[in-house]
Structure 1
Amino acid sequence: MPNYIALDWEQDQLFGIEADVNSGAVRLKRAFNLKWPDDVGTDPSARGQWLGTQLQEHRISASQALVTLPREDAVVRHLELPPCPADELSELVRFQAAIKSTRPIDELLLDYLPVEIADDEVAQSVLMTTVAREQSDSIRQTLESAGLTLASIGLTPVAAAELVVRVEEQQRLDETETSLVVWAHGDRVEISVIKRRSLLFTHSTRLTSTEDTSQHIQTILAEVSRSFVALQKLLPDVSIARGWIIAPNEEAETLAARLQERLSISTVSIPEISVRTIDPLNLSGSATVPIDVPGSHAPYVGPAGILMWASGGRAEFVDFLNPRRPAEVKDTRKLRAIVIAASVAVIIGGGLFWRQSEVAALEKAYLDAKSEQSSLEELQERAAGNVENVTAVQEWVDNRVDWLAKSHDLFNDMNGTERYYLTDLRMTLAGGSGAGNITGNGESKTYGEVITLYQDLGEHPERVVNTHEIPRGKDAEYPFRFELDINLQKPEPIEEPARDDAEDTKTETEEE
């Protein structure tokens, strides 16, 4: 839980609260009031050393500081601006500040509050607020010398608006109605008008010190009346629906009653207006006070309001250290470059994946084809032997010779004479164009018989008879020996005569 110290920073004194802050709630730990001693002057370093010592004596352990400044330390202007996009509004306000401010814009801290008056409002209205940069620098240096870190700088009327908005939420009051807030403490008086959770108007003054409470209240009421005159000129259609008083206990109730009486007959408020008091250190459900705070609680409106805002603001707030800025326009070029690069990577990756898939598919198809080819080659090798056998068988079938018929023809051509006889006879197949060979030996009674035999055997168209010498033998009856050497030729294929289609047609016609 963050631990803060909240300070209302006046020229001559500080009102402070130390608190633990979390989401939606504030736990007040201690409150204190410190008056600047004369011997430290305005030197930030001297003031810081003194402040650090005082915080140690009060056992303040917080390291971060939230500061509110009096309304009188800021310049507040109501601006009517032409309609523009929300992200250009802050630049337009800054431009107007540069025109209307009497000091250079670089010497100022600037923030603004959006003003919503009616639902049908066309022009954009804002409350522009500025403080001197040198004042914030002095506060920062003082706090750093005291060992604190400055986290935020706001305004007391805006802090008071935060408290009022929370009270109205608790009481379920209509936020579209306009509320008047009067805060009085010593000679300081701040008068504000709130609607739709935002400040519409704020005015401050310093009253002449007096011990007469009645006179003091009368002076406050007179200041409220003067504020109404300025309010009507600025926002003529505004009608006050209720009032809130933040003041010391001894005058708060009286001031509320007197203000209600005056507002009930005023033209700037409704007749049934009610005015109530607020204790800034005792907001039910928002803050607790574990210790008693001596004196009035009214001076702590600034610290209490900014602590409530730090826990989760309900009202529009001013923070000069962290002002409203145009919505940051994200540079999407880097993101687009990343997206494009990622897309290209996806495309390239997809292409490579597709290519790899296609290559893998082709490699698989190649390997399958190669495997199939190997299987076919193996099958072909196994079938080659069978083919050779089949071929040999077919050749044997095609070249076979009917030796019985050939023998019968041979013996018929030899005329069955006793003039010669065969001593042996052999029949073998032949290669090439020959069908076979018939060889043998025989003996003849005369030489002429052998010659006649050769001639008779050679007359057959399928025989080629090779003649040889006819030597004499030892047989006296068959003295001449002869040798048979006959080559059998394959018969010429018989060509079928070509058929005449015309004759076939004619024949068919005649038959019909």
Structure 2
Amino acid sequence: MIGSGRTVSVVEIDGPRLSAVAARVGKDRVEVKRWVSAIRPDGVSGEDGAAVGAWVGGELQRAGMPRSGAVMSVSRGDVVLKRLTLPAGSVALGEGEIGGAVRLQMARQLTVPLEGSAVDYAVLGPERDEGGGSGLAVMAGAMPAERVRWCLAVASAARLKLSRLSLRCFGVASLLGELSQRRGGTILAVAVGWGSTEFVIVEDGQMAFARAADTPRPTSRAEVEDFADRVSVEAKRTWMSYRSTRPGPAPEFVAVLGEGEFTRRVGERCGSVLEAPWEAVGVPGVVKLPEGMPESERSATAPLVGLLVERMLARSTLDFVNPKRMPDRAARRRQLVLAGVFGAIVVGGGGHYLAKKEIAKVESQAASLRDERARLEERYQAHLARHARLNHLKSWLDTRVDWLGHLSVLSGQVPAGGVAYADEVQGRMYSSVAFMPDGGANARTISYPKGDWIVQPRAEFDFEGRALERGVATDLRARLLQSDLYTVSTQGAEMSDRFALRLITARPSPAPPTPPPPGEGGSR
């Protein structure tokens, strides 16, 4: 537990980038005192936890950050995260019983073995189950054993005394919890990090869904537009995945952590794709950041600060270093052993020996069947993953744009007689591919590969040229709008002797060109 008034460090390794903050946590305030951001040297292997930890420890020491009671943040992509609804009656269960039910549910749904993995859960509250009864909603997470060992190796080499190992997406949710309750709607949050981007859906003040994408923050302005496009596609996928299991309306708004021009570009593109308003969201009023902290570091480290806010507010969360108590799995076995001893005393040593031999045989058969099932399940899941990747790529490659057909339409709209000339036409294609399960986006369950791959192409054209007078360019723009083939917008300032239009269409192949007015048709 983080004590009042204590300075605590939160550390995150996102790809090759180290981000860390040291903040004083009070009863009702979090004040960031120091921060550090560094790129891993080329000579340090990211797979070697001890080497990474030694580098991290040196950076923290130079920054003067405390290492006792530290918090380590990991990406959503490092764990398996499931929202589970336990059956009616679970609300009255204790921590051990809930932990056992969570472990059983996770064992049924995961393709990786639970042995050695860190499993924890956060209670979200009562919820109606599929039978209409009062169930219990929990957010359960499982970190694979290999990743747990890597995190502990990093902490050991960095001389960090971990008090908590949690998820960055929970920090994002804690920053937006109050806003979600005040608005009374569902928020889709976008948190851009140095190595990945988190997409978190917050509903009624709690995290309802989260996923991460390998879309690192761009390092140059030339990459911002392309980055915003990729993030908007991932945001759309996140919303479709969430609504495939929990039908409902569009998000109340899209919240992008940060401020400034970069945040505006990302927010506008995501809002356009999701057909929802967007807002730039900073840290809440209970958080104080240093005045000299750059905007890029404020937005990148905001989820780390959110993990401290979460603990200050005593919100239920995941901790893979100190998971909640699971049931004593050996208790039942001890009871059977004691019963067997009692039976052996009563019946005799011969009956005990035969029973023990039969039990060992059955247990061996059951273990063999469990191992075989696990192997087959792993192979089947791997096959489905390859199948999905292949069909995703095939659907994307099958999308074609009839460039000559569109060029014919555009050239056919340029007036003849020397009153206008087309100087340049540039075309681009964007295509998003998503899987739509049987039953559509409102389907209660998804059973891949039962469904269809949906392709949403978009073609853009930059159409520039000269005109003898402004009226010619205006008529050209009007004819293109009347064709119902393109959405048309003017690029730059309007000029009397030039036109520069941007045309956007969702139709890869155009309809037959609309004939120009008599005597004005002709290609130029």
TM-score between both structures, scaled by the size of structure 1: 0.55
**Aligned to 1:47, which of 35, 40, 52?**
52
- Asked if 1:276 is matched to 2:279, the reply is yes
Aligned to 2:233, the other structure's residue is in SS state helix
Contact 2:180 2:204 in 1 (8 A): no
Give the letter aligned to residue 306 of structure 2: G
Q: Which residue of 1 aligns with 2:323?
A: 323
Rounded Cα–Cα distance in structure 2 between residues aligned with 1:242 and 1:155: 23
Match of 2:18? 14
Matched, 1:246 2:257: yes
How far 1:70 sits from its partner (Å)? 0.7
In 2 relative to 1, CA 249–317 (structure 1 residues): closer, same or farther, beyond 3 Å?
farther
> Pairwise mapping of residues 87-486 of structure 1 onto structure 2 (< 5 A)?
87=94, 88-115=97-124, 122-167=134-179, 173-174=182-183, 176-186=184-194, 188-207=196-215, 211-237=222-248, 239-247=250-258, 249-264=260-275, 274-280=277-283, 283-289=284-290, 291-293=292-294, 295-313=296-314, 315-325=315-325
Unaligned runs of 5+ in 1: 265-272, 329-512
Between the two proteins, the alignment pairs up a number of residues equal to: 313
Shift of 1:116: 5.5
Change (3 A) 1:215 1:22: same
CA contact (8 A) 1:192 1:199 kept: yes
Q: Deviations over 1:266-305 (max 9, x none)?
A: xxxxxxx54211224xx32333425434744222133211
Distance 2:247 2:98 in 1: 25
CA distance in 1 between counterparts of 2:48 and 2:293 reads 33
Gaps of 5+ in 2: 329-524
In structure 1, distance between residues paired with 2:80 and 2:171: 16
2:466 — aligned with what?
none
Is the deviation greater in 241-250 or in 118-127? 118-127
Q: CA deviation at 1:161?
A: 0.3
Q: Which digits, 9 at most, give the CA deviation of each residue in 1:20-41, with x for residues without a partner? A: 1122211111111122223232
Counterpart Cα distance in 2 of 1:207 and 1:98: 30
User: Where do 4+ consecutive residues of structure 1 move more than 4 Å?
Assistant: 115-121, 166-169
**CA–CA separation in structure 2 for the residues paired with 1:105 and 1:299:** 32
Deviation at residue 326 of structure 1 after TM alignment: 6.9
Instruction: Give the Å deviation of 1:72.
Output: 0.8
CA distance in 2, matches of 1:166, 1:235: 22
* Residue type at the aligned position of 1:164: L
Contact preservation (8 Å) 1:203, 1:227: yes
Normalised to the residue count of structure 2, the TM-score between the two structures is 0.54
How far apart are the structure 2 equivalents of 1:195 and 1:244? Answer: 13
Q: Deviations over 1:208-238 (max 9, x none)?
A: 8874322221221122222222122111135
The residue type equivalent to 2:120 in the other structure is: D
Question: Percent of aligned positions with the same letter in both sequences?
Answer: 19
Task: For 1:124, give the aligned amino acid.
Answer: L
Between the aligned partners of 2:237 and 2:48, the Cα distance in structure 1 is: 37
Q: How far does residue 168 in structure 1 lie from its aligned partner after superposition?
A: 5.0
In structure 2, do the counterparts of structure 1 residues 261 and 35 end up closer, same or farther at CA, with 3 Å as the change threshold?
Answer: closer
Q: What is the Cα deviation at residue 118 of structure 1?
A: 6.3
Change (3 A) 1:14 1:25: same
Change in CA separation of 1:106 and 1:289 when aligned onto 2, cut-off 3 Å: same
* Pick aligned residue for 2:33 from 21, 29, 36: 29
Per the alignment, do residues 21 and 62 of structure 1 end up closer, same or farther by CA in structure 2, a change over 3 Å counting?
farther
- What residue identity is the alignment partner of 2:143? V
Tell me, in whole angstroms, the C-alpha distance in 2 between the residues paired with 1:181 and 1:114.
21
**Alignment partner of 1:240: what SS?**
coil
Q: Considering only aligned residues, what root-mean-square deviation do their CA atoms show, in Å?
A: 2.9
- The separation in 1 between residues aligned to 2:18 and 2:190, in whole angstroms, is 21
- Which sits farther off after the overlay, 41-50 or 230-239? 41-50
- Helix, strand or coil: the match of 1:228? helix
- Distance in 1, Cα, partners of 2:194 & 2:259: 9
CA 1:58–1:177: 2 relative to 1, 3 Å = same
The Cα of 1:15 is off from its aligned counterpart by: 0.5
CA distance, structure 1, for counterparts of residue 194 and residue 267 of structure 2: 17
